[in-house]
Structure 1
Amino acid sequence: MGYFLIGLLVITLSMVNIIEEANCEISPTILSKIERMNRMGPYLGIVAPNNFELNPLLASQAFVPYPSLPIIDFAGRRFRFGKISNQRVVIVMTGLGMVNAGVATQLLVSLFRLKGVLHYGIAGNADVNLQIGDVTIPQFWAHSGLWNWQRYGDGIDNELALEAAGDYTREIGHLQFSKYSNRTDNLLNRIWYQPEEIFPVTGTPEVRQHVFWIPVDKSYFNLARQLENTKLPQCVNTTCLPRPPKVTIVERGMSASVFVDNAAYRTFLSSKFNVTAVEMESAAVALICHQQKLPFVVIRALSDLAGGGSDLSNEANLFGSLAAQNSVDVLVKFIGLIPHGAKFASSSSS
């Protein structure tokens, strides 16, 4: 009877933990693990978009998992602990798109003691002067998927809906669909790009601010300059790129929950905003870190020319794995540059 009661108690406690975690509450068991790992911090938070980019890092000799507690699973996320270049790290995968990236990054910064966030992965390329496999480190990031879609019939000078209330602006600019139509009339009219509403931790709760271009951390960015022109592998089996890929410092990258496989839109983004890396997560990571006043930098390797048009056929299918590995290699090199015990003040850059 005694063993039965003990077993029943264990099952009951386990069910309580399951229910708490299902409701996104932190169970005592998980909380104890989080507190234990935080006593060993602070960490560099490493954010990967998906398994395609995460697995090369986990398989590399650079990453050494903690033997006693290598993972903590919470809220559908797996947080991995270890060291890279003798720096303590906690790694999380976001999943596809801006919402997933924002949720995973907020969980990371809320649960664990961090001294900075490093985001890496692959991206589409909007700059025809760069090559597949090149690794870009942009100074600024923006979310290009927050729009005010103008009513058909309204002209370029017409006030946008809710513009007078301060909710929307025409300052950033617009995309007019009729410029890309073979017909004389286009019911899609135009969309105006919008800044994000943000609520910084140092601000007044529920009093919004606005930001469009989010700067990476100045100290991280200066460290990244030391990697510029680093040569990287250029071949997949016997198929090689025209030249060895390199690390390149660029001005801007853009994200939205839209896969850009369209040359006209790529050209528009490049000419309008001077962006290079185009993908689906980095701006969300940037927005979270910016609001939390946490230093961050983004490392994105170019896997294809967005929308095609280069002389390299099947770009992403052929060279995607090379780009993913290049992003991991540059991430590891960057971590090796960070002084041990370094504390960066904010995520601002100039």
Structure 2
Amino acid sequence: MSRADTPILEIGNVSRPFKSYAYIKNDDFHAEVGPSIHPSNKAAGNDGARRRGQLFHFRRRLPPTPIIRKACPSRRGDPHQSAFICPDRARRRRNGLTATMAAPGPLLLLLLLLAFLAAATVSEGKIPMATWKQIRRINRAGPRLGVVVPNAFEMNPLLQSSSFVPDEHFPFLDFAGRRFRFGTIEKKRVIVVMTGLSMLNAGLATQLLLDLFEVEGVVHYGIAGNANPDLQIGDVVVPRYWAHTGLWVWQRYGDGPNDELPLESAGDYTRELGYLRFSDFSNATGNTLNRVWYQREEIFPVDGVPEQRQHAFWVPANAAYFGLAEKLEVVILQLPPCTFRWLLGLELDRCVNSSTCLPRRPAAMRVARGCSANTFVDNAAYRGFLSSKLNVTAIDMESAAVALVCLQQRRPFIAFRALSDLAGGGSAQSNEASVFAGLAAGNAVAVAVKFISMLDY
């Protein structure tokens, strides 16, 4: 092995090549270690040489690389000094480390390139720089209306309609498992995002929408179970308030309405909203399930004090949006079908096929309340409880989550829900949600699109 084909690492006061070696070998490299022999320390033997310095050679199994030699300023003509530390520099840095490095090899250049690319593509935590550039490009065009949809079968009628026109330059952006679609609905710029089933998915998708993009308001639509037997399948309702009715305190058996709940005195829970007592729906006495008390959500508004909670149960739709929805209600309910089709360009579906039709053409109307929870309600007793005790019409699994996020982010919100079934059965028509879900989804899209067309943006 020669010094000419390997990088050199020099330590201490070394001025000549070493004379002897201790040779170490493994699969990746050879290491040669030997005492430097200087004329001035020959008498000292190997121990003296070791005190004056050691010379290490590391040779990787790579093609030979020429050594970059730098001559001492005072001895440029001496070839023996060109590859070693100058004596005066060695005196100033005795026992220090001076390295004569080889030219960077292909592996080092590759690592530097990868590090540069990583630094250029990662920004703001988990969001790549390329994604941020796309988001900024979208936001430069100005605020858009957010359209939040629970599932694909509710979103597809919108995407397939002539009312939605995708952005020809930037139709969508995929991020965090969501696809944000950009375009226009009746010439209004929109961002459409599908949430997926449940309160958690609806909340996450809405939060991402509001965090990443300039959104001026949120329109949410989909299908829902019906708790009001006076309404018909296919009708589209616009609740004034939404509540999450899946947050409970399940009371200990033996306690009653006058007994304080755990942590109630600390403000965590309350008995103000009422309860559901299971024994009221039991055929036997002594039901040990006792009762559950409905609870408010903890919220942390963006304009509030961080980590200081507030509480919300009934979350209102935006007052201006709700007032605008009245125009849909009046026109659809009071004018003849041929007239309102001409005025609004809107016709709600009545028939699934030639043999399955509803008794009357569905209508859109504002109602007092809707509720959401991670529960598919197909129970007549619970439907009756929600209607009589909480005055609820629409029952779904997402709207309250969207409303709660918009409340905390201070964004206008409204929801349109088409009734797909009378929860728990009992209507004159076939009452399976699977029968009328497609019809209801189409009606929800029609009303939401018409509402968006009336917005003054």
TM-score > 0.5 by shorter chain: yes
Query: 1:280/1:16 Cα in 2 relative to 1: closer, same or farther (>3 Å)?
Result: farther
Q: CA–CA distance in 2 between the matches of 1:9 and 1:39? A: 32
Q: CA–CA distance in 2 between the matches of 1:11 and 1:328? A: 48
Contact 1:126–1:277 (CA under 8 A) maintained in structure 2 = yes
Aligned AA for 1:252? R
Q: Give the one of 277, 283, 301 matched to 1:182.
A: 283
- 2:402 maps to 285
Local SS of the residue matching 1:167: coil
- 1:233 maps to 349
- 2:445 maps to 328
- 2:366 maps to 249
1:262 Cα deviation after fit: 0.5
Q: CA–CA distance in 1 between the matches of 2:268 and 2:383? A: 27
Q: Give the one of 131, 135, 140 matched to 1:39.
A: 140
Deviations 1:305-338 (A, max 9, x none): 0111111124312111000000000011000110
TM-score, with length taken from structure 2: 0.70
Q: CA–CA distance in 2 between the matches of 1:268 and 1:190? A: 13
1:233 Cα deviation after fit: 1.8
- 2:151 maps to 50
Q: Give the one of 84, 90, 97 matched to 2:185.
A: 84
Q: CA–CA distance in 2 between the matches of 1:10 and 1:65? A: 36
Q: CA–CA distance in 1 between the matches of 2:217 and 2:118? A: 34
CA RMSD in angstroms comes to 2.2
Contact 1:24–1:75 (CA under 8 A) maintained in structure 2 = no
Deviations 1:185-226 (A, max 9, x none): 111100000011111111100111111100110110011000
Q: Give the one of 430, 436, 449 matched to 1:313.
A: 430
Deviations 1:259-294 (A, max 9, x none): 001010000000000010000000000000011110
Q: CA–CA distance in 2 between the matches of 1:64 and 1:144? A: 37
Q: CA–CA distance in 1 between the matches of 2:125 and 2:179? A: 14
- 2:206 maps to 105
Query: 1:24/1:235 Cα in 2 relative to 1: closer, same or farther (>3 Å)?
Result: farther
1:74 aligns to 2:175 (yes or no): yes
Local SS of the residue matching 1:228: helix
- 1:269 maps to 386
Aligned AA for 2:350? Q
Identical positions, percent: 61
* Matching of residues 287-306 of structure 1 within 5 Å: 287-306=404-423
Aligned AA for 1:220? Y
- 1:346 maps to none
| Unaligned ranges ≥5, structure 2 | 1-105, 333-346
Q: CA–CA distance in 2 between the matches of 1:318 and 1:11? A: 56
**Runs ≥4 in structure 1, deviation > 4 angstroms?**
8-17
- 1:260 maps to 377
Q: CA–CA distance in 2 between the matches of 1:71 and 1:196? A: 33
1:140 aligns to 2:241 (yes or no): yes
Query: 1:15/1:241 Cα in 2 relative to 1: closer, same or farther (>3 Å)?
Result: farther
Q: Which moved more, 1:315-324 or 1:240-249?
A: 315-324
Query: 1:188/1:79 Cα in 2 relative to 1: closer, same or farther (>3 Å)?
Result: same
Q: CA–CA distance in 2 between the matches of 1:166 and 1:189? A: 22
Aligned AA for 2:370? G
1:166 aligns to 2:267 (yes or no): yes
Local SS of the residue matching 1:168: coil
- 2:32 maps to none
1:116 aligns to 2:208 (yes or no): no
Q: CA–CA distance in 2 between the matches of 1:12 and 1:94? A: 36
Deviations 1:99-125 (A, max 9, x none): 000000000000000110000000000
Query: 1:183/1:116 Cα in 2 relative to 1: closer, same or farther (>3 Å)?
Result: same
Contact 1:178–1:185 (CA under 8 A) maintained in structure 2 = yes
| Unaligned ranges ≥5, structure 1 | 341-350
Deviations 1:51-107 (A, max 9, x none): 010111111110000011101000110000000011000010000100000000000
Aligned AA for 1:332? V
Local SS of the residue matching 1:240: coil
* Matching of residues 208-219 of structure 1 within 5 Å: 208-219=309-320
Q: CA–CA distance in 2 between the matches of 1:131 and 1:12? A: 62
TM-score, with length taken from structure 1: 0.91
Q: CA–CA distance in 2 between the matches of 1:188 and 1:143? A: 21
Aligned AA for 1:182? N
Instruction: Please tell me whether Structure 1 or Structure 2 has the larger radius of gyration of its CA atoms.
Output: 2
- 2:250 maps to 149
Aligned AA for 1:320? A
Deviations 1:4-36 (A, max 9, x none): x99x9699958996xx69x97110111111000
Deviations 1:127-179 (A, max 9, x none): 00000000000000000001010011111211101111110000000000000
Contact 1:56–1:324 (CA under 8 A) maintained in structure 2 = yes
